[in-house]
Amino acid sequence: MTSRFLSLLLMIGAAIASAQVYSPNLLRTGQPDSSNLKRFADSICAAANAHTPREKAEAIWRFFLTDGRFVAPGYWYHIAGWSYEEPFGEVLDPIKLLNSYGFGLCYHIAPLLEAVYDAAGLEGARCWFLTGHTVTEVFYDGHYHYFDSDMMGYNVAGDGSYRGKPVVSVRDLEQNPDIILGKLQAPNKVKPGVVDEPWYPADVRASAMTDLANLFSSTGDNFLYPFTRYASGHRMDFTLRPGETLTRFFEPEEASLYYLPYRFDGKGWEEFPQEISEYHLRTSDGPRSQKDKRLWATGRFDYRPPTPITQPVTVISMPSPYVIIDAKFKMNVTTGTSNGDIAIETSTDNGGTWELAGELRGIHQGQWSVEPKVIVTSPHGRRTAVSGTYGYQIKITKSSAVSLDSLHITTRVQLNPRSLPFVEPGKNRFVYRAELPIQRDEIANPIFKAKLSDMDLIDENAQVFLRPHSHNGEALYTLALGTSDLTGFDVGARFLDLRDGLAPDKLTAETRRSEIRTMPGAASISWSLSAEGPYREIWRYDPQINWRDGDVITRLLRWPDVLKHVQNLPPQTKQVFVKLQSAGPAIDNVRLALYSQGPSPGGLQITQIWNERGRRRQHIERIAASAASRQFTVFAGSSVKNVAVIFSGQP
User: Which CATH number goes with the domain that contains 323?
Assistant: 2.60.120.1310
512 and 376, same structural domain? Answer: no
Report yes or no on 286 lying in a domain.
no
Report yes or no on 79 lying in a domain.
yes
545 and 505, same structural domain? Answer: yes
Identity of residue 579? K
Instruction: Report the C-alpha gap between 129 and 29 in whole angstroms.
Output: 37
210 and 319, same structural domain? Answer: no
Distances (CA, A) of 133 to 151, 157, 183, 447, 565: 9, 22, 21, 30, 32
For residue range 460-482, what is the model confidence (pLDDT) as tens digits? Answer: 989 999 999 877 899 999 999 98
179 and 52, same structural domain? Answer: yes
Write 263-269 long-range contacts (CB < 8 A, 24+). 263/84, 263/86, 263/89, 263/507, 264/86, 264/87, 264/462, 265/461, 265/462, 266/459, 266/461, 266/462, 268/376, 269/375, 269/376, 269/378, 269/383
Report yes or no on 609 lying in a domain.
no
Phi-psi region at 96: left, alpha or beta (left = phi > 0; alpha = psi -120 to 50)? alpha
- What's the CA angle centered on 40, arms 4 and 91, to 5 degrees? 55
For residue range 78-109, what is the model confidence (pLDDT) as tens digits? Answer: 999 999 999 999 999 999 999 999 999 999 99
The dihedral of CA 316, 576, 488, 391: what is its sign? Answer: positive
Average pLDDT over residues 616-632: 94
Instruction: Report the C-alpha gap between 126 and 224 in whole angstroms.
Output: 8
189 and 80, same structural domain? Answer: yes
Average pLDDT over residues 196-203: 96
For residue range 380-391, what is the model confidence (pLDDT) as tens digits? Answer: 999 999 999 999
The predicted pLDDT at position 276 comes to 74
The predicted pLDDT at position 214 comes to 96
DSSP state of 172: H
Task: Classify burial at 517, counting beta carbons within 10 Å of its beta carbon; exposed 0-12, middle 13-18, buried 19 or more.
Answer: exposed
Please identify, among 183, 206, 225, the residue that sits at the C-terminal boundary of a domain: 225
User: What does the mean pLDDT of the chain come to?
Assistant: 93
Report yes or no on 186 lying in a domain.
yes
Task: Classify burial at 99, counting beta carbons within 10 Å of its beta carbon; exposed 0-12, middle 13-18, buried 19 or more.
Answer: buried
282 Cα distance to chain centroid: 24
445 and 407, same structural domain? Answer: no
Quick count: other Cβ atoms within 10 Å of Cβ 69?
11
Report yes or no on 617 lying in a domain.
no
Quick count: other Cβ atoms within 10 Å of Cβ 410?
15
DSSP secondary structure letters along 189-226: EEPTTSSPSPSSHHHHHTT-HHHHHHHHH-GGG-EEE-
Report yes or no on 257 lying in a domain.
no
User: CB under 8 Å to 419, separation ≥6 — which residues?
Assistant: 34, 75, 98, 99, 102
Report yes or no on 576 lying in a domain.
yes
Question: What's the CATH number where 47 sits?
Answer: 3.10.620
Please identify, among 196, 225, 254, the residue that sits at the C-terminal boundary of a domain: 225
**Contact between 460 and 512 (Cβ < 8 Å):** no
For the chain, the domain total comes to 3
Instruction: Report the C-alpha gap between 114 and 122 in whole angstroms.
Output: 9
Average pLDDT over residues 508-521: 93
Instruction: Report the C-alpha gap between 24 and 601 in whole angstroms.
Output: 11
Q: Which structural domain, as residue segments, surrounds residue 96? A: 29-225
The per-type count for the chain, helices as H runs and strands as E runs, is 8, 44
Element containing residue 63 per DSSP (H, E): helix 53-63
| pLDDT at position 404 over 70 | yes
Task: Classify burial at 532, counting beta carbons within 10 Å of its beta carbon; exposed 0-12, middle 13-18, buried 19 or more.
Answer: exposed
204 and 101, same structural domain? Answer: yes
423 Cα distance to chain centroid: 26
| pLDDT at position 408 over 50 | yes
288 Cα distance to chain centroid: 19
For residue range 355-369, what is the model confidence (pLDDT) as tens digits? Answer: 999 999 988 999 999
Element containing residue 58 per DSSP (H, E): helix 53-63
Report residue 72's pLDDT band, with 50, 70 and 90 as the boundaries. confident
Nearest to 302 by CA among 648, 61, 651, 2: 648
Identity of residue 397? T
353 and 445, same structural domain? Answer: no
Report residue 338's pLDDT band, with 50, 70 and 90 as the boundaries. confident
Residue 465's φ and ψ, nearest 5 degrees, are -155, 165
Please identify, among 205, 225, 245, the residue that sits at the C-terminal boundary of a domain: 225
550 and 463, same structural domain? Answer: yes
The predicted pLDDT at position 10 comes to 45
| pLDDT at position 278 over 80 | no
Report yes or no on 6 lying in a domain.
no
